Amino acid sequence: MLGLMQDWPLLVHKIIDHAAQNHGDREVVTRSVEGPIHRTNYREIAVRARKVAEALDRLGLKEGDRIATLAWNTWRHLETWYGITGMGGVYHTLNPRLFPDQLIYIANHAEDKVIFFDITFASLVEQIAPKLPKVELYIAMTDAAHLAEMTKKSGANIPNLVAYEEFIAGSSGTYEWKQLDEKAACGLCYTSGTTGNPKGVLYSHRSNMLHAMMCAQTDAQAVCSRDSILPVVPMFHANAWGLAFSAPMVGAKLVMPGPKLDGASVCELLTTERVTMTAAVPTVWLTALQYMDQNNISLPHLNRVMIGGSACPRSMIETFEKKYNVQVIHAWGMTEMSPLGTIGTLKHHVAELPHDKQMDYKVKQGHPVFGVEMKITDDDNNELPRDGKAFGRLKVRGPAIVKGYFRGEGTDAFDDDGWFDTGDVATIDSESYMTITDRSKDVIKSGGEWISSIEIENIAVGHPAVAEAAVIGVRHPKWDERPLLIVVKKPGAAVTREDILEYLKGKIAKWWMPDDVQFVADIPHTATGKIQKTTLREQFHAYRLPTAAE
């Protein structure tokens, strides 16, 4: 027997329609690429999204066509997403932090038909355009005057180029959204490609809608109509962690940072737009916190910050919570998970513990949100105990988790029961709090035991003279591998190898202690802000540990 409920397809454009009708005056504020602060609202966004859809439809684009965006977080970028999905297309976010050859590979693999781009990326688009035979039109996300100014200054020679405002000018704004199957594709995002070529994750309308609902839960992002939300995390980084959907779904104010993600610019928006919730990777907050400390800045309106992308150091959480009275929500997820997987909110009994004991839970990646099943296994796919001690391969499944990559690639990441192997090594405790100990390719295997590089890094960053830290395994004749700690000092700081090792004593197991410390000017990062350990391993390929002769 089937239920007698209405068939209401879970289509992404219903989010912006809901926001327009029920929260129409709620602001969307952007630090524009052109410079000035731009203000609009959900009602206007919805109309202009329909104009985008009508213009694309008029161009002859069809359901399932991939339409790329190479853009910052702005109101125009938001309009394109909803416009593209509403006419049946698939928005494809290109990450400008990738190398040109990677972008060329991704755009050709996706067979993009159109590229929307911000004028800050004009020279990049000019460089890759000759190698993108499938692209029929390039749309500069600006007006005709600024496009002319850009062309005059840079001399950018981009074929079939039109200004965004001109492109949508002939549209009425009354376009009727396409009636689609909720399982139809609506978004495409490629993995960063740290191993092999990037692989495409193809989101459906249904998965994006369910993910937005998952995000909006109180024990997840906890967003509501009273919030003012600043997604520092870019829309080209795993759907801006779902905030481009969950914020309008609940009618929250959106504050879009545009191209300026430096500490001063971020802090200005946090203050002037009375931001209550924000989200970014730890590297962004390292810069912002340094700026706040140097300029004696307070954040009177901010009450919570979501930090993910890589592990958040305990010292960063303590700084936010003790100095600025801002709750840190530690989160973990992947492009393949839309991306939210776990959230570090406190369960009822943990919330009653002393603050120092709560911190032991806050540094974990958190517990799964509804819609995410999770387990750890050994190399033979045997499930390991949830005791907080056993290390295993982290596997997940759920309605917003990939079941296969675009064009059938990467099949070895999936098992016969539908579980996706994340490539992370983790522990899960008896209360479902999960802790990432390493990527499987980064875990340090010493004397037959595993050492967590992430845990050592997070503790090392707590030293007052350390700006950033990374740990890699270096070959050792006796132990196979031993940890090498690589450190970036804070500006003007004076610290020695012995100081760092002394600081670590008693905080980690004795046999986890790094065999050496090396100081560097900077640590390389991937296009999504994670430490690029492949580059560090290449850099220290010939390095010999002082203990190797023992």
Q: What is the structure's pLDDT at 534? A: 84
- Check 54, 165, 182, 336 and give the catalytic one: 336
Return the half-sphere exposure (C-beta side, CA atoms, 13 A cut-off) of residue 176. 2
Cα 76 from Cα 62, distance rounded (Å): 21
Look at the alpha carbons of 290, 294, 300, 301 in this order and tell me if their dihedral is positive or negative.
negative
Neighbours of 440 (CB within 10 A): 15
Separation of first and last alpha carbons in the chain? 73
Domains 13-205 and 373-439 share a fold: no
Q: What is the structure's pLDDT at 428? A: 97
Cα 86 from Cα 78, distance rounded (Å): 12
Q: What is the structure's pLDDT at 45? A: 98
Cα 280 from Cα 266, distance rounded (Å): 11
* Inter-residue long-range contacts of 205-208, CB under 8 Å, 24+ positions, other chains counted: 205/9, 205/10, 205/11, 205/12, 205/85, 205/180, 206/10, 206/182, 206/399, 207/338, 207/399, 207/400, 208/12, 208/239, 208/245, 208/338, 208/400
Residue 367: both structure tokens together = 């517990």
Residue 513: both structure tokens together = 């202690």
Check if 450 is active-site: yes
Q: Report the length, in residues, of the chain.
A: 550
The architecture in CATH of the region 13-205 reads 3-Layer(aba) Sandwich (3.40)
Cα 242 from Cα 234, distance rounded (Å): 11
Looking at domain 444-549, which of 3.30.2290.10, 1.10.3720.10, 3.40.50.2020, 3.30.300.30 is its CATH number? 3.30.300.30
Check if 111 is active-site: no
Q: What is the structure's pLDDT at 121? A: 95
Digit-by-digit pLDDT tens for the chain (550 residues) are: 999 999 999 999 999 999 999 999 999 999 999 999 999 999 999 999 999 999 999 999 999 999 999 999 999 999 999 999 999 999 999 999 888 998 999 999 999 999 999 999 999 999 999 999 999 999 999 999 999 998 887 767 899 999 999 999 999 999 999 999 999 999 999 986 545 688 999 999 999 999 999 999 999 999 999 999 999 999 999 899 999 999 999 999 999 999 999 999 999 999 999 999 999 988 899 889 999 999 999 999 999 999 998 888 899 999 999 999 999 999 999 999 999 999 999 999 999 999 889 999 999 999 999 999 999 999 899 999 999 999 899 999 999 999 999 998 888 889 888 999 998 999 999 999 999 988 877 878 787 677 888 889 989 999 999 999 999 999 888 888 899 999 999 999 999 999 999 999 988 878 889 999 999 999 998 877 778 888 898 899 889 998 876 5
- Check 74, 191, 526, 528 and give the catalytic one: 191
Instruction: Please name the residue ranges forming H helices in 163-254.
Output: 164-169, 205-216, 243-250
Amino acid letter for position 387: D
Cα 109 from Cα 200, distance rounded (Å): 9
* Inter-residue long-range contacts of 375-379, CB under 8 Å, 24+ positions, other chains counted: 375/419, 375/428, 376/426, 376/427, 376/428
pTM for the full model? 0.87
Instruction: Specify the residue for token string 């997987």.
Output: 341
Cα 270 from Cα 521, distance rounded (Å): 30
Q: Note if the bond before 464 is cis, omega within 30 degrees.
A: no
CATH fold label, 373-439: Luciferase; domain 3 (2.30.38)
- Check 450, 489, 534, 547 and give the catalytic one: 450
Q: What is the structure's pLDDT at 391? A: 87
Write down the domain spans for the chain. Answer: 13-205, 373-439, 444-549
Q: What is the structure's pLDDT at 450? A: 74
Cα 455 from Cα 273, distance rounded (Å): 36
Q: Which helix (H) or strand (E) holds 187?
A: strand 185-190
- Check 322, 445, 502, 538 and give the catalytic one: 445
For the CA atoms of 76, 77, 80, 82, what is the dihedral angle to 10 degrees?
-110
Q: Which of 167, 149, 159, 163 is nearest to 128 (CA)?
A: 159
- Strands 137-140 and 114-117, how do they pair? parallel
Check if 479 is active-site: no
Neighbours of 207 (CB within 10 A): 27
Check if 44 is active-site: no
For the CA atoms of 513, 519, 522, 523, what is the dihedral angle to 10 degrees?
-20
